[in-house]
Structure 1
Amino acid sequence: MRNTTRYAVLPALTAASLLVVTGCSGSSGTSAAGKTDRTEPVAAAGAAADAHPQLAVAAAPAGGGAPSAVATPQAGGKPAAKSSLKVAEFDKGSGRAVISGKEKDNGKDKGHGATPKPAAPVAVGDVIASAPAPGAPQGVLAKVTEVVGTTQKGTEVKTAPATLGALLGGSTAKGQVPVDPSSVKVEPLAPKVKVSWAKTGGVHFGPEGAQLPLGSLRVDVSAALPTLTGKAGPAQGSVDASADGFVQLAPEVDFAYDGKGTATGTPGTASLSLSGDWSSQWELKGQAAATTADGKPLRVPFAKLHADPVITVGAVPVVVNLDLTCYLQVDADGKVSVDVKQDVKGDFKVGGSYSRAKGWTPVAKANMSGTPVTATATAAGKVKAALGAEASVGLYGSVGVTGNVAPYLRAEVEGTATGASNGTGSLVGKWAAYGGVDLGGALRAHLDIFGTPVFERSIPLGPLNREWKLASGEGAVRR
């Protein structure tokens, strides 16, 4: 398991940033039409030296958001460079955008109070990548299809969806960026939900706020689970089950792109994944519900988490959209009564990987192990309870990957056994308690945002399963 304290924490992002790649050649100065040129000479220097550079993948800089930059031709598969322009307005439904910039005097800004340029700062064919902006809380990745005219806020344009390949060209990039836990918005879905997080320079004091590793987010829950036995109703003398525990995450975004050997914007390889350290502990008591009315396990979502971290790939601000729903799920016959508690630690990774030879393939890994804290079971029956997280990962508002990470407890009793992990029990029979983790999910066609070929349907991730024994007993056991 990785040591999360060594990671830098992703800073909060408040300013929208813009990166433009123009489809026409650029030169400094003023055009014959009297319009201020969009290109700054410094932009092409590094790209000219290396048509296939290795781009750094990092958290966006603190305070000022992702970089603003220079409009640079994309000729020869060179990656985009910085631009001083920004998205002032954006309408995702219509593709309408307003691009603003500052008046310049001999290459120098006139000041913070400068008005937008009346001349068009962008042209048809330009590709815009922006951090969250007005009207685009999940960022912008778009190609200019028409320059409409000027407004008080800047130049109005019409856009269509674009791909990252158009911005990254023949470059390569690979890296992991931790998600700032304080930037994650948590929506409680149950009455007893508490949130803790810890980062450099700040701690949120929930139940374990002062004890968390840096970069970690923890959600604690205590929930009652009604006892049901299908159409027959509650079992005679049964007591409602309860679940108490927490999920602790140190999430990271894994991003990779390799465009070597191509100037078309189609990479040779690419990948996008959500990974990180995982820790959870929970206890299930009582006789849990059998199934819901439709025959499926009872699922109780208790918190929704959302974040839009911005990472920089070279000069490109890449907006990653993360959603997680934490839930309790129980599948049981309503007969067995348990008191099982498990401590799970490890790490996980869910996502997708692309290569020209194989296309998109799923990524689903979990290296977890569990330790029993308590494990007792009475009466004949079975129960399986999970404390999991259902995640979706996308770019610029398009979901590309869904994943499900669900560590679980499972207990089963045969005959009339009563057993416990401390060796006590009564009567004759067999019982066992297990821990495990289920992985599942799917890749979505929206991963064509990398510039890769589109697949027509979702590609399932699994399911994958790993299980371990927590405790067991057989035969006549002592009281």
Structure 2
Amino acid sequence: MHKLTRHALLASVTVAALLTTGCSASSSPEADVAAAAAETPAATSTPDQLAVVQAPLGGAAPTAVATQDAAKAGRVARKSSLKVASYERKSGRAVITAKSVTPPAKGTATPTSASPSSPSSPSSPSSPSSTASPSTSASAPTAAPAAAVAVGDVIASAPAPGAPDGLLAEVTEVVGDAAGGGTEVVTKDAELSSVLGESKAEGDVPVDPSAIDVDPLIEGVKVSWAKTGDLTFGPEGARLPLGSLRIDVGAAIATAEGAPASAAASVHGFVQLAPEVAFSYDGSGSGTGSAPGGAFLGLTGDWASKWSLKGRAAGTTTTNGKPLRVPFAKLHADPVIQAGPIPIVVNLDLVCYFQVAADGKVTVDVEQDLKGDFRVGGTFSWSKGWTPVSESAMTGTPLDVDVAATGDVKASLGAEASIGLYGTVGVSADLAPYLRVAADASAGGSSDGTGSASGSWALYGGVDLSGALQLQLTIFGTPIFQQRIPLGELHKEWPLAKGKASATTPPATATGKTAA
């Protein structure tokens, strides 16, 4: 019995030692046990629902990395301290650096003082074990670190040196240590499905107007914007809604040949935008390597404009028979949104323009106040593939109307937009609210439809919306289509005001609305 108890005691000591060793290993800062355990809940039957929000402004560029095993298993990429130090798109070469970690002790001072000064240490300063301890402890921090990334890893990064549009790439080769530090790798383009896995994500993220670069293309362009905590007043004391960007323009346009000096043509007004990036992803079933179940990329937001057309515009057209278009401002932004820990770089370009189509016969003085919203983009589903989304709701009110002579004129104050991810264009759209005047005699009127006339005239408001989906939307990991898919022509028009041949006409419809 005594012998059995002794064996039991030895066994219990051995188990305790093993448990102690195991706890020590798991608590080592160099072990990744906790990270592996954190991934375990992701491999459940319920996909992760990721919030889509604006990435924090300022600070270091966010990065997420999906290991090869995680990507194959459909798990979401994890936030990483790795950074893209440099990138060359042509060769796909990049240098990846890891955030430096300061070791708990440097040199021999801390290990030497820690061991002998401990009152519970059984070793004396002169014992062999105490002299060996500092050497062993000092050599630990100098061990060769593991490579920052491995073949098959997928990196999603915000804009970085050499990658102003951000980077979504898979490591195909680890070259070795870079000359200036870090690890040099060779990459190829990757897809969102490799970092989003089987998760779901959806949200509309406002674009910070102060982060939009505006390049005036003609003289007379003024820019103003407002954002939370930094309100800027627009021209004429206008107070902008938060999140809005306003561009004012005033320019002379070609006047019809033979028109009197009093009929000089010009366009004046402003465009006010509050753009938002619309993004959604449904990765259901993507863990088997198939494409996601659904996706959407688009541009949405509020639109407001107040503008006027005066004079007798020339009937100038381009060589292809279309009206002459005059761009007056170019806008660009690379907002970074985050789906959970994953930075998604959106590339947004807008070109604001005015366009006048006239026959050179009619003289007008018309002004319109227009408000509404729009939504353009592409949506993917397994049953229909990629299909276009083209929606707009506008309400217009005429402020002044004066029409003389017989003729037609159509003037637009619109914007060409393109939106893509990581430097690839996915959706292009042309949103063109317009005013159109049709007159068959001299006439005059006002916004309530009253006035005198010797003929008849009519003023219309409208919106044209067109565009296309691009091949590059395959960045979501969806099947490839070989041609551009038109958004489909959206054309809506509504009456604003009209005049008849009587000396006094009853009030006319002065507002119109379109929705699609």
TM range (shorter): 0.7 to 0.9
Q: Tell me, yes or no, if structure 1 residue 64 matches structure 2 residue 59.
A: yes
Q: Who is 2:509 aligned against?
A: none
SS in structure 1 at match of 2:457: strand
Render the CA deviation track for 1:278-321: whole Å, top value 9, x for unaligned. Answer: 11110000011213241320211000000000000111100000
Q: Who is 2:187 aligned against?
A: 159
TM-score (norm 2): 0.80
Cα 1:463–1:422 change in 2 (3 A) is: same
SS in structure 2 at match of 1:449: helix
Instruction: Give the counterpart letter for 1:235 in structure 2.
Output: G
Give the greater-gyration-radius structure (CA). Answer: 2
Cα 1:423–1:199 change in 2 (3 A) is: closer
Cα 1:432–1:210 change in 2 (3 A) is: closer
Q: Who is 1:197 aligned against?
A: 225
Q: CA deviation at 1:476?
A: 3.0
Distance 1:129 1:454 in 2: 22
Render the CA deviation track for 1:222-280: whole Å, top value 9, x for unaligned. Answer: 0111124xxxxx13436331010000011101100001123115111100010001111
Q: CA deviation at 1:47?
A: 1.9
Cα 1:37–1:274 change in 2 (3 A) is: same
Cα 1:174–1:108 change in 2 (3 A) is: farther
Instruction: Give the counterpart letter for 1:134 in structure 2.
Output: P
Q: Tell me, yes or no, if structure 1 residue 171 matches structure 2 residue 196.
A: no
Give % identity: 59
Instruction: Give the counterpart letter for 1:269 in structure 2.
Output: G
Q: Who is 1:53 aligned against?
A: 48
Q: Which residue of the other structure, out of 170, 173, 198, is the alignment partner of 1:143?
A: 170
SS in structure 2 at match of 1:182: helix
Q: Which residue of the other structure, out of 404, 407, 411, is the alignment partner of 2:430?
A: 404
Q: Who is 2:460 aligned against?
A: 434
Q: Which residue of the other structure, out of 56, 73, 77, is the alignment partner of 2:74?
A: 77
Instruction: Give the counterpart letter for 2:284 in structure 1.
Output: K
Render the CA deviation track for 1:33-86: whole Å, top value 9, x for unaligned. Answer: xx9979944651542456611111011124335544565422421111111101
Distance 1:237 1:332 in 2: 16
Q: CA deviation at 1:351?
A: 0.8
Q: Check conservation: 2:365, 2:401, Cα contact below 8 A.
A: yes
SS in structure 1 at match of 2:500: strand
Q: Check conservation: 1:38, 1:70, Cα contact below 8 A.
A: no
SS in structure 2 at match of 1:441: strand
Distance 2:214 2:237 in 1: 15
SS in structure 2 at match of 1:350: strand
Instruction: Give the counterpart letter for 1:93 in structure 2.
Output: K
SS in structure 2 at match of 1:429: coil
Q: Tell me, yes or no, if structure 1 residue 268 matches structure 2 residue 324.
A: no
Render the CA deviation track for 1:383-427: whole Å, top value 9, x for unaligned. Answer: 000000100000000000001111100001013444444556555
Q: CA deviation at 1:178?
A: 0.6
Q: Check conservation: 1:281, 1:341, Cα contact below 8 A.
A: yes
Q: Check conservation: 1:193, 1:219, Cα contact below 8 A.
A: yes
Q: Check conservation: 2:453, 2:500, Cα contact below 8 A.
A: no
Q: Who is 1:185 aligned against?
A: 213
Distance 1:189 1:42 in 2: 55
Higher strand proportion (structure 1 or 2): 1
Residues 278-357 of structure 1: pairs in structure 2 closer than 5 A = 278-294=303-319, 295-357=321-383
Q: Check conservation: 1:283, 1:342, Cα contact below 8 A.
A: yes
Instruction: Give the counterpart letter for 2:52 in structure 1.
Output: V
Aligned-pair RMSD on alpha carbons? 2.8
**Moved segments of 4+, more than 6 Å:** 27-30, 35-39, 105-109
SS in structure 2 at match of 1:267: coil
Higher helix proportion (structure 1 or 2): 2
Q: Check conservation: 1:77, 1:265, Cα contact below 8 A.
A: no
Q: Check conservation: 2:55, 2:343, Cα contact below 8 A.
A: yes
Q: Check conservation: 1:378, 1:419, Cα contact below 8 A.
A: no
Tell me, which stretches of 5 or more residues in structure 1 are unaligned? 1-26, 229-233
Cα 1:76–1:118 change in 2 (3 A) is: closer
Q: Check conservation: 2:312, 2:362, Cα contact below 8 A.
A: yes
Tell me, which stretches of 5 or more residues in structure 2 are unaligned? 1-24, 107-140, 506-516
Instruction: Give the counterpart letter for 1:223 in structure 2.
Output: A
